[in-house]
Structure 1
Amino acid sequence: MSVKEQLLDVAEVMVREGGYNHFSFRDLADKVGIKSASVHYHFKTKPDLGTELVERYTRRFLEALDQTATSALPAQTVVQQAFQASLQSSGMMCLCGLLAAEGDGLPPEVRQATRAFFERTQQWLAERIVQQSGIRPEQAAQQALRQMAMLEGAMLLAKIHGDVGLFEQITGGSAE
């Protein structure tokens, strides 16, 4: 694994545990075992790091959805499973959900990348809803938006209550 990938992995955990402003390049360098100047070699500024982190998360999330979408499951279930798996495997919030809550305190480029995660995920879901159900694209977009809001809200409540099972209660049962 490259140093850059290590930095992104550690930064993702740090953001998901404490938020965007929870760490400095020095903290990140200490965790990875490199000098702070080496972090700057890979990421000129913290917003550069944050933007790349969100773009990587978005890319991985959508790739995971694409891999699961080949099943006969409804698209809503595929997205629900992705959120649920993230919460259950790490006990942590969706990176972009956490960043969205911090929206006003984010640099503009990180905020825009976070917004793009939601737009692209909503678009992915809406397109598949249209394919699977044949409803109009406008209706599918609204349905996808509601689904995203419910899933992010369920994650927030499960996290604050320290009860991963609450996600399942809110979302209406197991996504399996």
Structure 2
Amino acid sequence: MTTARRGIGTAAKILDSAEERLCRYGYNGVSFRDIAADVGVKSASVHYFFPTKPALVAAVARRYADLCLAELGDPVSRAPAEAVGLLAEMFRRTVAERKRMCLFGMLAAEVGGLPSEVGAEARRFFAETLSWLRVALRDEAAEAEAILAALEGGVLLARAMDDPAMLEKVTERVTARHFTVSG
């Protein structure tokens, strides 16, 4: 997915660096030392804004989720096919333009070993995204789950195969199927 807005302060730069690293390397591949180097500050400065790694990652996750959900907008105002297309486009941009994983796809893979506050943010994102999609699809819960699973899975395939076209193929199938279902 995407983070559409970027702040200019040190805390925002720390969040940006942490997000980029999380989407590329996962929770265990992120260190305050690397983030400090990215931002051009000392590690103590990162700790000043975010005392612990779980606090930092939870903040990144909240920001990422909030920006994604804001970009999706009001699900009631969208036709089901439009909603599916918008969600698919967010995933496509993450892989094709930003060349990385969805933050929550990475966190979901690691959720069993994540600190509770980080795992809670990952679950919140998926719950809210599924809720948004269910409303957009007019309460088609099973369809919403299948669509979100297919898109996240497409991102994983694209990464594993080092081929962004894998997600494009999944996106085309999901979108085409929903256009057929919705008319």
TM-score of the alignment, normalized to the shorter chain, above 0.5: yes
Q: In structure 2, the residue corresponding to 1:74 is in which secondary structure?
A: helix
* Residue 71 of structure 1: how far off its partner (Å): 6.2
Instruction: Normalising by structure 2, report the TM-score.
Output: 0.85
Q: 2:110 aligns with which of 74, 98, 102?
A: 102
Residue in 2 that maps onto 1:30: 37
Give yes or no for the alignment of 1:123 onto 2:134.
Answer: no
> Could you say if the C-alpha distance between residues 24 and 43 of structure 1 is closer, same or farther in structure 2, counting changes exceeding 3 Å?
same
The structural deviation recorded for 1:148 is 0.6
Equivalent residue pairs, number = 168
Deviations 1:18-46 (A, max 9, x none): 11111221221121111111111111111
Structure 1 position 171 matched with structure 2 position 171? yes
Tell me which amino acid in the other structure corresponds to 2:172: G
- Counterpart for residue 111 of structure 1: 119
Query: Of the two structures, which has the highest relative contact order with CA contacts closer than 8 Å and spacing of 6 or more?
Result: 2
The unaligned stretches of length 5 or more in structure 2 are 1-7, 177-183
Q: Pick from 77, 94, 115 the counterpart of residue 86 of structure 1.
A: 94
Give the stretch that moved more between structures: 165-174 or 39-48.
165-174
Q: Is the 8 A contact 2:75 2:83 kept in 1?
A: no
Letter in 2 for 1:66: G
Which of 32, 36, 48 in structure 2 is aligned with 1:41? 48
Whole-angstrom distance in 2 between the partners of 1:116 and 1:46 = 19
User: 1:61: how far off?
Assistant: 0.6
In structure 1, C-alpha distance between the alignment counterparts of 2:163 and 2:31, rounded to whole Å = 30
Q: Is the 8 A contact 1:69 1:78 kept in 2?
A: no
Q: Distance in 2 between matches of 1:164 and 1:129?
A: 27
CA RMSD of aligned residues (A): 2.1
TM-score (norm 1): 0.88
Identity, in percent, stands at 38
Aligned position for 1:133: none
Question: Partner of 1:102: helix, strand, or coil?
Answer: helix
Residues 96 and 117 in structure 1, CA contact (< 8 A), matched pair in contact too: yes
Whole-angstrom CA distance in 1 between matches of 2:108 and 2:100: 15
Amino acid at match of 1:166: M
Does structure 2 retain, via aligned residues, the 8 Å contact 1:83–1:94? yes
2:12 to 5, 8, 12: 5
